[in-house]
Amino acid sequence: MSSAPSSLQESQRPPSSPAVLLVVDDEPDLEMLIRQRFRAQIREKRYEFVFARNGVEALRQLEGNPEIAVVLSDINMPQMDGLTLLKRIGDCLDTLPAIGQEARRELKAVMVSAYGDMSNIRSAMNLGAFDFLTKPIDLGDLETTISKTLREVERLRQASHDHEQLAKVERELLLASRIQKALLPTFREFEERKEFEIHAAMVPARAIGGDFYDSFLLDQDHLALVIADVCGKGVAAAIFMAFSRAMLRACAMQIHEPGACLEQLNRLLLAETAENIFVTMQYAVLDLRSGSLSYTCAGHSPACRVSADRLKTGPCAVEELEAVGGPVLGILPDAKFPAGSVQLRHGDTLFFFTDGVTEAMHADGSLFESDRLCALLAAAAGGSPRELVEEGFETLKDFTFGAEQSDDITMMAVRFLSPGHHQP
């Protein structure tokens, strides 16, 4: 049988990293036979053999050489036989810390016994041996068995590497998720304001999402409100989300009118974004003295107004704002965004949302849609913004009934409390 490499992995193994094999046998001639048979692989530094006379010596070799990938052991030996060695190897792996088990789990054992000694062979396989050979050893069969065993070791090492890489990615995503949550406002700076109440929440479909919400004061009398949805999910969407949010804040502090603000934001996104990525958005400015709201939409569903009028009940208590605005941001260079306006009364609530709400899917394939959203808002009318948002998420959870979340879900509620009125 040719001694040429029998696998792509073996042929590509760098010379500085030979496969290390431990041969455990009390026959003195075996070392010479193996070195002769595998002289080409040894010379090319693809194989490295180490030898032990019994199980006791073998354990010392294993403790001192973590690179050993294959143990080729006789079963019948003095001091410690092969079955005891195999069991001790298993016991040692079980008692290692988790990281040690990961490092040595690819170790494979091939046992050697007399032809017909099926009782010991079965015991060896039950103890975790990967394969077995019978005496007298056929050197061609030995070479084939070693090649097959090393391929399995290589497969396990690659799987271990992939697992480590996946764990690293998961750790990085967890960190990114924490950073993203830290970027979203908590509205603590508004706790002393008497003119409005606000609450919002986002639940991403993955570890990190592309939705975002924000609210900030343009001056003491004007509150900016924004909700947006970046196309796609994952890391790219999250990065573009953070960039869009920062650019919007910069534009808004310079341009208070919503339509002109989004026109400038659109130009900036087109200039700074290389990839074909876009964002839908609703942007509004609330005059805290009068309750006048000016707003525009960029390919985004308009907010709903929940009336505080106690005489209004049912669906009529909820009104979807007129859909005014323009296309999504980041696609058309000359896009225009006309603005609309609405007058809020004391106690009225604005409910902003992304399409993850209306497109939430039941297990039967039906969508939550606008009608269910209006019914939800009407039923919750009179509640605080926090209660409204929390009720929204609970209702969606009941509706989807365990179905997998397919999109980020974001809700924001703002209640206007006109000056001179006490909060109801």
Q: How far apart are CA 93 and CA 89, in angstroms?
A: 6
Give the model's confidence band at 403: pLDDT under 50 very low, under 70 low, under 90 confident, else very high.
confident
At residue 177, φ and ψ (nearest 5 deg) are -65, -40
Asked whether residue 59 is assigned to any structural domain, the reply reads: yes
Q: Is the pTM of this model over 0.75?
A: no
3-class SS of residue 54: coil
For residue 404, the tally of other CB atoms under 10 A from its CB is 8
At residue 22, φ and ψ (nearest 5 deg) are -100, 120
Q: How far apart are CA 412 and CA 352, in angstroms?
A: 5
Asked whether residue 54 is assigned to any structural domain, the reply reads: yes
365 and 225 in a common domain: yes
212 and 107 in a common domain: no
User: What CATH number is attached to the domain comprising 295?
Assistant: 3.60.40.10
The answer to whether 248 and 189 have CB atoms below 8 angstroms apart is no
Give the model confidence (pLDDT) of 205-257 as tens digits.
877 778 999 999 999 999 999 999 998 667 777 888 888 999 999 999 999 99
Determine the pLDDT at residue 101. 44
Asked whether residue 221 is assigned to any structural domain, the reply reads: yes
Domain termination site, one of 150, 171, 192: 171
Asked whether residue 176 is assigned to any structural domain, the reply reads: no
Determine the pLDDT at residue 312. 54
Q: Which residue has the tokens 């001091």?
A: 79
User: What CATH number is attached to the domain comprising 96?
Assistant: 3.40.50.2300
pLDDT at 194 over 80: yes
Stretch 277-306: mean pLDDT: 96
Q: Is 31 exposed, middle or buried (0-12, 13-18, 19+ CB in 10 A)?
A: middle
362 and 222 in a common domain: yes
3-class SS of residue 281: strand
Asked whether residue 421 is assigned to any structural domain, the reply reads: no
pLDDT at 126 over 70: yes
Domain termination site, one of 147, 171, 195: 171
Q: What is the DSSP string of 102-164?
A: HHHTT-EEEEEEETT-HHHHHHHHHTT-SEEEEESP-HHHHHHHHHHHHHHHHHHHHHHHHHH
The answer to whether 412 and 211 have CB atoms below 8 angstroms apart is no
The answer to whether 72 and 21 have CB atoms below 8 angstroms apart is yes
372 and 305 in a common domain: yes
204 and 167 in a common domain: no
Number of domains observed in the structure of the chain: 2
pLDDT at 8 over 50: no
> Residue length, the chain?
424
Beta strand 108-114 with 131-135 is parallel
Q: How far apart are CA 351 and CA 389, in angstroms?
A: 9
231 and 264 in a common domain: yes
225 and 132 in a common domain: no
250 and 194 in a common domain: yes
Domain termination site, one of 143, 171, 199: 171
When the pLDDT of each residue in the chain is averaged and rounded to a whole number, the result is 86
Name which residue leads in pLDDT, 49 or 63: 49
Give the model's confidence band at 422: pLDDT under 50 very low, under 70 low, under 90 confident, else very high.
very low
Q: If you average pLDDT over each of 9-18, 23-32, 95-104, 214-223, which comes out highest? A: 214-223
Asked whether residue 179 is assigned to any structural domain, the reply reads: no
The identity of residue 229, as a single letter, is: D
pLDDT at 82 over 80: yes
pLDDT at 93 over 80: no
For residue 418, the tally of other CB atoms under 10 A from its CB is 17
Asked whether residue 23 is assigned to any structural domain, the reply reads: yes
pLDDT at 23 over 90: yes
Name which residue leads in pLDDT, 4 or 288: 288
Determine the pLDDT at residue 421. 52
Name which residue leads in pLDDT, 12 or 65: 65
Minimum mean pLDDT range among 90-99, 148-157, 292-301, 408-417: 90-99
pLDDT at 22 over 90: yes
Minimum mean pLDDT range among 43-57, 111-125, 316-330, 360-374: 111-125
Per the structure, the complete domain to which residue 67 belongs is given by 8-171
Minimum mean pLDDT range among 12-16, 27-31, 181-185, 312-316: 12-16
357 and 240 in a common domain: yes
Angle, helix 139-183 to helix 235-254, in steps of 10 degrees: 20
Asked whether residue 84 is assigned to any structural domain, the reply reads: yes
Stretch 153-173: mean pLDDT: 82
69 and 143 in a common domain: yes
> Nearest to residue 379, comparing CAs of 369, 391, 365?
391
Q: In sequence order, what E strands does 62-130 have?
A: 68-74, 108-114
Give the model's confidence band at 275: pLDDT under 50 very low, under 70 low, under 90 confident, else very high.
low
Determine the pLDDT at residue 343. 96
Is the N-terminal amide bond of 419 cis, ω within 30° of 0? no
Beta strand 325-326 with 292-298 is parallel
Query: Among residues of the chain, what percentage have pLDDT more than 90?
Result: 57
Stretch 263-274: mean pLDDT: 88
Determine the pLDDT at residue 170. 74
376 and 272 in a common domain: yes
Stretch 73-88: mean pLDDT: 90
Q: In sequence order, what E strands does 13-155 have?
A: 19-24, 47-52, 68-74, 108-114, 131-135
150 and 65 in a common domain: yes
